[in-house]
Amino acid sequence: MSRTGEAIDSGKEFVFNLRDFERVREIIYRRAGISLSDSKQEMVYSRLARRLRATGIQSFSIYLDMLEREINSPEWESFTNALTTNLTSFFREEHHFPVLAEHVKKKSGPVRIWCSASSTGEEPYSIAMTVCEAFGTLKPNVKIIATDIDTNVLATAARGVYNLDRIEKMAPEKVKKFFLRGRGSNEGTARVRPELRELISFEQLNLLDARWAIEGDFDVIFCRNVMIYFDKPTQANILRKFVPLLKPDGLLIAGHSENFVYVSDDFKLQGKTVYVLVNKSEKHTAHKTFGSMKGEL
């Protein structure tokens, strides 16, 4: 292991030492709640080296000094975008979508859904396709709010244009129903139908912000594969803020590697990474039981 002031790899274009890496970890944690592990050193170097080239800055230390000095610099957005991981696909973790369909079909009024880490749009469009099929129409009484911290991926999501290899694993009937194939200069791409796009509002939102500019009463909140980047106190704080935004019978849908059972007593597991709110009587009983157990130890 290199000492703090030594370069991680002296053969790189820019000097990047452990002190620089620790500063990046601290700054992105403060800014976005993301906890970077020791194994992310190479990823941090490669992504931020692009920002050094783009800005003409010659060292990581000067770049990080600039960020901390100029708190309103537009470079903050590029810095955050560079360190945000956006792995996604259409109907990823597909077991959630039949659950969503069954849940919304029980609703008689308007349905509201929040996709809290929309990335490049595959997840909110998958949600939109699911509700369209559940209600048998391209214009269901459904509103989907899709948010992400990364403005670059939101722009991609809003365009709704994807290379054909992104949809090749989707059932052909779904592709035919929900996509328009590109022609001419757009050959090799497909665009989501405008009816799907009209169901979704794309907005920038940082889950770490003290206040969210978003109104509640959601029937479903998707928060998949984003909490794994946060430490447990940050996860607990976000889950607390979900509570008043979710309808009493609403669903919180998490990613396959996320477990909220030991993070929050506001939610209980109802299915495979699907959570519902714990009602007040259940929570009171749980607290009483825990208290009596403590007394017996």
Crossing angle of helices 41-55 and 60-69, in 10° steps, is 70
For 190, the token pair is 């497909």
Residue in 23, 51, 148, 150 annotated catalytic = 148
The residues near 84 (Cβ < 8 Å, ≥ 6 apart) are 32, 34, 148, 149, 150, 153
Give the closest residue to 143 by CA, choosing from 98, 194, 202.
202
- What end-to-end distance do the CA atoms of the chain give, in Å? 44
Round to whole Å and give the CA distance between 78 and 46. Answer: 14
Round to whole Å and give the CA distance between 102 and 81. Answer: 35
Residue 219 appears among annotated catalytic residues: no
In the block, residue with structure tokens 């955050």: 80
Residue in 47, 92, 181, 191 annotated catalytic = 47
Q: What is the DSSP letter of 202?
A: E
- 5 by DSSP, 3-state: which? coil
Cα dihedral sign, 257-261-267-273: positive
Phi, psi of 139 (to 5 degrees): -130, 60
Residue 20 appears among annotated catalytic residues: no
| Strands in the chain per DSSP E | 111-115, 142-148, 161-163, 179-181, 189-192, 200-204, 218-223, 246-254, 267-271, 274-277
In the block, residue with structure tokens 């992504």: 47
Are 59 and 45 spatial neighbours (Cβ–Cβ below 8 Å)?
Answer: no
Which residues are tagged catalytic?
Answer: 47, 148
